[in-house]
Structure 1
């Protein structure tokens, strides 16, 4: 209310504004109370808020203006300030500071448009008795400065080791999973006739994982011996 009177006092006068406000539901203030409020010394809370706002602006600028309330609260505590998260939120609103919201996460798995009739050789039993008996595959994304990059990787269930991977700036639904499988075959020597190896992935519509796991062997050539070692599953 004091700020409202300050804004319009030169046009309407303090007494006229106070009389008008007293007749409304906005509240009641007399001209004497207004002048007393203007001469009252600044409260300790207001002084502390002013200091904290300057510190918030400094830390926010040092972190490229991307920190929100949670990270700003942690940063203020690390700097030695005793301040609560709600207070940080209030002061950031007063200072016009806000963090950068992350965009929508990319979708890396989409349901296939038609049912998959191939058998499930794993049947949700993700266990192996030796290396190179069961490989599981997936696609994920990694946030980078320019957006996202996508990673297809294959993990050996027994050793928990990533045996093959491939990275791309865009989600190649056909090539990326197959590149990861080819890398796994080459890096482990599984292309040289390893028996009983099952390559398992989800039922998404990503093309590479929705095709036979034997398919890349026919494309690249030189790995034909590995056909007999791979299970006929790619889910």
Structure 2
């Protein structure tokens, strides 16, 4: 560690002085420095450079989990803890949004159903389990509200809606109509959401149940019960929204970005 420190600070301080302060021999340091670099050290430095490259390519929005995933795709076997340690060395931190707006209003008198899904986020076949949620997108002119429906089988967005308002017609119903156009399903499909009024009200409930769907809702105040939808929104905002000062309240522009980045089928 002392040798590494001296080497990294050669351009700041005289080598002889650093050796004296750190109580190491100059000859020993130069002998260490002249040794060939090991393959392990070369790989370590290469990974660090890849981390820096991925971080800035993502416009400083990726944290250690996403960068670890990208490294694994590139063929590097490395843990998230190690990536986090290297990021800390370089002072790299993902950009996070500080703005928050409530989109779930669970204070209503509509019927709330049980959590049938019970955090079982694996589906062996298409159209067996769909999950849905609503989030906001902060723009220069105000808020837009994005509703998505995800098939747990392949984690694809099969239905979505982007609107200025939060009415049932503009959110859950609009996304549902797109989903049923994009994917066929049989009776018994589990549709999971939070307890928000857009999912609990009679209009949406009656429409969904007419298809023979089994409804499921997260427990009150428990975001982990709908973790897949929550995770998608975090990824979407991290990659496309946070730090983007050019976002304007123009639906067509945001719809284009959403469709181009998150293809559904």
Query: Could you tell me the TM-score, scaled by structure 2's length?
Result: 0.40
Bigger Rg, structure 1 or 2:
1
